Amino acid sequence: MKPQGKIMKLFAAVAVFVAVCAGAQQGKSKADVTGKYEGTAKNAAGELITVALDLTEKDGAISGTISSSHGDFPITGGSHQGKQVTLQFDAQGTSGTITLEASEDKLVGTWSAGDDGGPVEVKKVMAQQGGGKEKP
């Protein structure tokens, strides 16, 4: 093989390597939403509802639970693409959806279930050190 052919193959291999690395970095640029979030939501009647989301993200799919002053609800499906986070949940037989935008340590958006819905805003909370539930 001529030296020019070897150089062309080397350049092609380097170009493929750079493209793969760039794609891997691009996939890592969005922050994983795994963690615990606490905040509030409002329903159609304007009632303030305390909310805690316990989320686990794996390969863009989200699972977990929603705990609120109206009960605990399993997340039945969820996705994370770019800044958009979508959660589907079961509200005691009624399907619900939460559509959020991720920014730094907050998730802000809206929720709906049946004829009810409203705004929701939660902030990521730090895990307690030592795993204890006691307060100082």
Tokens of 23: 């794609």
Question: How confident is the model at residue 57, as a pLDDT?
Answer: 94
Residue 42 lies in a domain: yes
Asked whether residue 99 is domain-assigned, the answer is yes
Q: What is the pLDDT of residue 126?
A: 82
Angstrom distance (rounded) from CA 63 to CA 59: 11
Residue 78 and residue 115 in one domain: yes
68 and 9 belong to one structural domain = no
3-state helix, strand, coil in the chain (%, to 5): 20, 55, 25
For residue 67, give every residue at least 6 positions away whose Cβ sits within 8 Å of its Cβ, in sequence order, or none. Answer: 51, 52, 53, 54, 73
Tokens of 12: 């092609």
Per-residue pLDDT of the chain (136 residues; tens, 9 = 90+): 555 555 544 444 444 444 444 444 444 446 889 999 999 999 999 999 999 999 999 988 999 999 999 999 999 999 999 999 999 999 888 999 999 999 889 999 999 999 999 999 999 998 655 544 444 4
Total number of domains in the chain: 2
Model confidence, pTM: 0.71
Please check whether residues 68 and 16 belong to one and the same domain: no
Looking at the fold, whether 21 and 51 belong to one and the same domain comes out as: no
Residues 121, 70 share a domain: yes
Q: Specify the pLDDT at position 13.
A: 42
The pLDDT of residue 72 is 94
* Same domain? 55 vs 20: no
Q: Are residues 26 and 40 in the same domain?
A: no
Domain holding 57, by residue range, is 35-126
